[in-house]
Amino acid sequence: MPIATRRSPLALVQARDVQAKLAVAHNIADADREEAFPILGLVSTGDKIQDRTLQEAGGKGLFTKEIDEAQLDGRAAYAVHSMKDVPTQWPAGLILGATLEREDPRDMLLARGGETRLVDLPKGVIIGTASLRRQAQLLHARPDLTVVPIRGNVATRLSKLESGEVYATFLARAGLNRLGQPEAKADPLEITEMLPAVAQGAVGVAVRDDDAYAQDILKPLNHVDTEMAITAERAFLAALDGSCRTPIAAHVDLETLDFVGEVLTPDGQKKWREQGSLKMSERTLEAMAAAGHQYGMAVRRAAGPALLAVIETA
């Protein structure tokens, strides 16, 4: 029962983690887990495009297209995704079968001068990021800085930092933790300083909607609280017609169910934010989706035509 994934180092680590968890859940010996759940590594369109930003190339689906096709044509039973890269609508025939427990969702600022806070960056330095969200949030907090696009996996971006091509960059702490990178030990940016991408730090496993056997196999891996949180965040994103081409962020605290969501203009000059507490008594997927949608629509109303302009020009 193959597991499809991208071939990037981080994606392969995540796929092997799912493979190991499936083996434990179903009493399969370590020596046999590769045979039971072989990994099918694929190169996504998003991985191939390195000469322009994702928003210029087409958005989130660029990282999932080839993997979706492998599931739909029967080459793979499962597919492992970083949920922040998954469009809000699954392709026809696919569903989310399990959500693993969320890693630390916070961003990390990595700077040649050792700074870990936006406020401490020297005036006018060059910051590299391929994320439109991080660009907008950075410019909102520090309009004096210069942002340039950089693409590539974690190692590539760290090499550009070390070579002096940029003074600083951002990486998700979850990815650094999963890769065992020493940079993960530094202080992350707090949620109040830089709100994470929707579903950042969460890994999901997709399955065909007609494959009841594979769906049952996945059930022991599902972390309900994480599933609840990202359901609300993704509903917020969907209400705003969000993609990689719109600077949107959201986060649900797994313990308190406090919700924060925001959308910005790409230049960071305008920001609209909604926050509140989701009801602990309504811990269902339907309630979480409804709450996220409600907050998203509140942002739409507050922003009015200004937000529509952001979406239409994205």
Q: Kindly list the catalytic residues.
A: 85
58: three-class secondary structure by DSSP: coil
SS (H, E, C) 156-222: HHHHHHHCCCCCEEEEEHHHHHHHCCHHHHCCCCCCCCCCCCCCCCCEEEEEECCCHHHHHHHHHHC
Contacts of 58 (CB under 8 A, 6+ apart): 45
What sign has the CA pseudo-torsion 209, 199, 226, 279? negative
Query: CA–CA separation, 238 vs 292, rounded Å?
Result: 9
For the chain, how many helices (H) and strands (E)? 12, 12
How does 30-54 read in b/e, with b if 16+ C-beta sit within 10 Å?
Answer: eeebeeebebbebebebbeeeeebb
Residue the block writes with tokens 């997709």: 206
Helices (H), 26-151: 33-36, 45-48, 54-57, 65-72, 132-141
Local structure of 305: helix, strand or coil: helix
- Residue 206 sits at the vertex; the CA angle it makes with 218 and 34, to the nearest 5 degrees, is 60
- Other C-beta atoms within 10 Å of 29: how many? 8
Cβ–Cβ < 8 Å for 54, 129: no
> Cα separation of 231 and 229, whole Å?
5
Displacement of CA 27 from its chain's centroid (Å) = 31
